[in-house]
Amino acid sequence: MIIVALGANLSANGYDTPLATCEAAVLFLKQEEDIEVLRCSRWFRSKPVPMSKQPKFVNGAVTVNTTLSPENLLSRLHTIENSFGRVRQVQNEARKLDLDLIDFNGKVKVSSVPPMLPHPRTAERAFVLLPVRDLSPNWQHPITGKTVSAMISALSSDIRDIYPLTE
């Protein structure tokens, strides 16, 4: 299973809200020749991590099939981010669109050359884990073997302070 997380807390040009931006990004992914979107999670609202005065985020995830390598998929995701107006300047800054490669068929790649697989902070982020659980309740972290539910349970209650925008 290939999992891509989506998030935004600013509206991209031409979109009214971060939710509209994220929904448009899913449609954009669906139009990519080498990427097939299989499923999309519900959308969630979350506080910025680490805590700041930024607006809240909209987060979700999709499962995809692709003929691209993990490196080429990540490059394509960055190109899509850029097309929505993402400019990387400061870590953890407010953003118009964030697309993260969370898992690539259980592949493990730990190196200084992106992408690291699975995404290195997956187990610490409820805003990733809750959408992943929507897509695959039995998903297990490729390194630790922990289930997505076990990882969510291990988070402190303040980190889990996110809620679905739709049921």
Residues linked to residue 6 through DSSP beta bridges, in sequence order? 60, 99
pTM of the model: 0.92
Half-sphere exposure in the Cβ direction for 164 (13 Å, CA): 11
Rounded Cα gap, residues 1 and 9, in angstroms: 27
How do the pLDDT tens digits run along the chain, 167 residues long? 999 999 999 999 899 999 999 999 999 999 999 999 999 999 999 988 756 678 999 999 999 999 999 999 999 999 999 999 877 766 667 889 999 999 999 999 988 778 889 998 899 889 999 999 999 999 999 999 999 999 999 987 666 578 788 64
Half-sphere exposure in the Cβ direction for 64 (13 Å, CA): 32
Domains of the chain, CATH where assigned: 2-164 (3.30.70.560)
